[in-house]
Amino acid sequence: MPEAPRLLASILPSANTVVERTTQALLRDLPGVMPIFTRVAKRGAVDPFPDSYDWDAMMQAAELLADAKPDAIIWSASKGAVIGLEHDRALVRRVRDATGLPCTTSGLALLRALELLGATRVALIGPHTAEYNRRAARGLAAEGVEMVAEASLGITDNLAFASVGYGAVAALARQVARPGVQAIILWNTNCAGAPLAAALEAETGIPLLDATALGVWGGLGAAGIPETPGRGWGRLFTLPAKGSG
């Protein structure tokens, strides 16, 4: 146990059980970096704030994490692309203004990774509905990113996302791996796919970007931490994360 670790602080939806275990696994070989977490309410299939964030809850969560003086705060969720990533940019500004701490989100980290990969034509996959992917596609289109393929499982309950196994995630990725797809994005932080990235990339030749891994990658960059989990977690962790917030 390190005596004085650097801290990556994540805000996640309350029914999410994947962000913590994925983040812990990604940081396992970085003993000088420790994750801490807090939650905002997200239950069932109905979002009471479908077109924005619950700003009071989000800022309360950020301020509670700020009490621990982390090196960066991460919003680890896929909602930003669905409602428009201007909301994520506003969140980063608000958190920085309120806490003085670096902040990023899975959505902003995604844009940075796609820029570095030179990828503008992507496939979206996840356990959710096709309509969710289409809404995310509209948000990404506003950022110059085109969804050219999608695959989804039709699940609507937030907690149930976490029960989807690796085999189902791999099958979704293979379903969209085709010429013209420049990146495959598992756009749901409550669905575990990060451990599959390297193997699926070797199989398909296409980068696979996991939403939770994106948050961790972006958080390390925002915190100015040069160490990464390494290429064993996929191509994402060979890219420079600075500028993803």
Q: How far is CA 48 from CA 41, 53, 159, in A?
A: 10, 9, 16
What local confidence, expressed as pLDDT, does residue 243 receive? 66
Mean pLDDT of the 57-70 span:
98
Q: How far is CA 231 from CA 18, 204, 234, in A?
A: 21, 16, 5
- pLDDT per residue over 13-50, tens digit each? 999 999 999 999 999 999 999 999 999 998 776 788 88
Q: Is pLDDT at 53 greater than 70 in this prediction?
A: yes
Give the integer Cα–Cα distance in Å for 143 and 146. Answer: 9
Mean pLDDT of the 170-175 span:
98
Kind and range of the H or E element at 195? none
Q: Is pLDDT at 59 greater than 70 in this prediction?
A: yes
Write out the E strands in the chain. Answer: 6-13, 33-40, 72-75, 103-105, 121-126, 146-152, 183-186, 208-210
* Six-digit token string for 177: 């791996």
- pLDDT per residue over 104-147, tens digit each? 999 999 999 999 999 999 999 999 999 999 999 999 999 999 99
Give the position of tokens 């969140």. 91
Q: Which of 7, 4, 59, 3 is CA-nearest to residue 225? A: 7
What local confidence, expressed as pLDDT, does residue 47 receive? 82
Q: How far is CA 203 from CA 16, 177, 199, 200, 214, in A?
A: 29, 10, 6, 5, 21
Q: Which of 87, 62, 54 is CA-nearest to residue 11? A: 62
Whether pTM > 0.75 for this model: the answer is yes
Q: Which of 208, 77, 1, 158 is CA-nearest to residue 85? A: 77
Distance of alpha carbon 37 from the chain centroid: 14
| Residue type at 151 in one-letter notation | A
Residue 9 is classified by DSSP as E
What local confidence, expressed as pLDDT, does residue 244 receive? 67
- pLDDT per residue over 188-245, tens digit each? 999 999 999 999 999 999 999 999 999 999 999 999 999 999 999 999 999 998 766 6
